[in-house]
Each structure stands twice: as structure tokens, then as C-alpha cells.
Amino acid sequence: MEDVSALEDAPAQDSSFEEDARSRAAPRGGVQMVDVSARGDATRTALAAGRVRIGEEAFRQIEQETLKKGDALTVAQIAGITGAKLTSRLVPLCHSVQINGVDVELSLSEEEEDFAVKVRAFAKSTGPTGVEMEALTAVNVAALTVYDMCKSVTKEIEITDVRLLAQTGGQDGDYRREE
């Protein structure tokens, strides 16, 4: 067992650092990871979405499964799931979350000469903190993977409209984006 005597002798946090359970304020010039140890476990969900505008040629190659790198939608789906699982390693102050489930869906969207891949990610966990960062990371990593898969066809690729659509189980109550 590690020697914890140094912790026992450590000074108490100064009062300027005290915070209520909702505060995210860190000491001036500093950062902190919010302590969620006093929170109870709750089932938490999050839904996020985004778009990747890829142009007609890349769109057709995805549709016909003729991209040089292979099946962009399947690879991006796997990448999004992996991204959700690695969120706390990518975002420095994000808590590590025990993810119970992640679902990433990609679909082709052809609307008025706007050729895009729509990305949606749903994440679920039971714990003291939410999974919105995991859902948002899944969308972003899936979108970046679509970019990578299509960049040999065109450089005119744009990742847009990444946003949280809904969240449940948080201490601030449920959230649903109005569109």
C-alpha cells in the first residue's frame, strides 16, 4: 500500500477554492477536474449529431462503395464508437465514464445539391457524470473518419453542425435541443 501520510499533512483547500456541487470555477489561472465523488449514480444518456459535406463525387463513391479506402460508413461507425470509448484520454478534464452502450449511425443525405453524410451518436452509462462528451466525441471522430476516407476524392469537405441534441439523467435535469 502507498504511503498516504503526506496527504494527511496536506493543508486544507483555501476557501477561495471551495465550490458548491454545480460550480466549475477553478482558482484564477488554474484548472481542475470537478470532484463528482459525492454524486450518486444515475442512468445517463446523450444524443449528438453532425454533418459532413463531401460533394457529389465522394458521395457517389460512398454510395457505390468504390472509395479507395473501402466502406467509409462502416469504418466511420467503428471509429465513432472507439472515439466515445477514448473521450477521457482526448479531453483533459473529462471524467472517465463506464459506457454501457454506444450507437453511431451514418447516413447519406442528398438535399438540393448538398451531398453529405449525417452522423448521429447515442451514448448511455450509469454513473455520477454525463455522457454528452462521449456522444459528441463519437460524432466528431466519425466525421473525421469520413473526411479521411474521402480526402483523395476532394479537399472540399466540411464538418458542420456538430451539436448535442438531448441528454437525460444529469443533475441539471433533462435537456432537449429545440430546432
Catalytic residues: 148
Whether residue 45 contacts residue 167, with contact meaning beta carbons closer than 8 Å, is answered with yes
Which DSSP letter does residue 4 get? -
Whether residue 118 contacts residue 109, with contact meaning beta carbons closer than 8 Å, is answered with yes
Look at residues 116, 124, 95 and name the one whose alpha carbon lies nearest to residue 36: 95
Beta strands in 54-132 (DSSP E): 99-111, 114-127
Whether residue 44 contacts residue 169, with contact meaning beta carbons closer than 8 Å, is answered with yes
Q: Fill in the amino acid letter for 142.
A: A
Look at residues 59, 66, 49 and name the one whose alpha carbon lies nearest to residue 146: 59
For residue 153, give the 3-state DSSP assignment.
coil
Alpha carbon distance 53, 56 (integer Å): 9
Planar angle of CA 11, 22, 172, nearest 5 degrees: 160
